[in-house]
Homo-oligomer: A and B are copies of this chain.
Amino acid sequence: MVSNRRTGRRPGDTRTREQIVAAARGSFAANGYDGTTMRGVAAAAGVDAALLHYFFGTKDGLFAAVMDVPVSPSRVADDVIAGGVDGMGDRLARRFLQVWDDPVSGPALVGMIRGATSHEPSAELIRDFVGREILGRIAATLDRPDAALRANLCGAQLMGTALLRYVLRAEPLASTPAEVVAAWLGPTLQRYLTGDPPDRTVG
């Protein structure tokens, strides 16, 4: 038997984990991302809340498990933030494309974006989760009064890229190497994150 990194894995662990993921899936669908709590999912799965933390860490780890995404998206945010303000746009573009180009997480995310536009609960999920846990956290570190709008603008560029490159497979974008796409997107994201706000409006 493969041993867990903290304790020996018990025979019932896989089934317990599956029960929790199933309960979480139901809660995210019914209550949205914000309305789902670790305690509520634990109760629905009939297990102790400590077990959820043991298996998934935090709520975003639980969400990643439900979405079958191997990397916790808040770790993407941590990596982008850790490198500092310089080159933040480039790192965000590169990390984002990496996750979507991945043969495991990519298809899971395509399913997520399809659901997000056709079902309201998924729409709330993706809006709250991607917006808050990834872009919101990055923008918050920059200490700008309009951080939320800046996060939205980055989100628009990135979600649109995902839509065209991975869902609609628009050419030549779909087959352009990730490093070329990242080099185009990086300065856009950098301006949205750290550039001066437009000093005039387009009339």
State the CA gap A203–B156 with chains docked (Å). Answer: 23
Q: Does A14 contact B (CB under 8 A)?
A: no
Q: Are A184 and B94 in contact (CB under 8 A)?
A: no
CB A136 to nearest CB in B, in angstroms, measures 10
For this chain, the copies found in one complex come to 2
Known A94-B202, A202-B94; contact A156-B183, beta-carbon cutoff 8 A = no
A198 proximity list for chain B (CB < 8 A): 180, 183-184, 186-187
Q: Are B171 and A183 in contact (CB under 8 A)?
A: no
- The interface on chain A, measured as residues whose beta carbon lies within 8 A of the other chain's beta carbons, has a size of 52
State the CA gap A168–B155 with chains docked (Å). Answer: 12
CB A32 to nearest CB in B, in angstroms, measures 12
Q: Does A44 contact B (CB under 8 A)?
A: no
Q: Does A144 contact B (CB under 8 A)?
A: no
Q: Does A106 contact B (CB under 8 A)?
A: no
Q: Are B173 and A153 in contact (CB under 8 A)?
A: yes
State the CA gap A172–B145 with chains docked (Å). Answer: 12
Known A152-B164, A163-B156, A168-B126; contact A200-B183, beta-carbon cutoff 8 A = yes
Which of A126, A149, A179, A184 counts the most B-chain CB atoms under 10 A from its CB? A184
Q: Which 5 A-B residue pairs are closest in the complex by CB-CB distance?
A: A160-B160, A183-B198, A152-B173, A156-B160, A179-B201
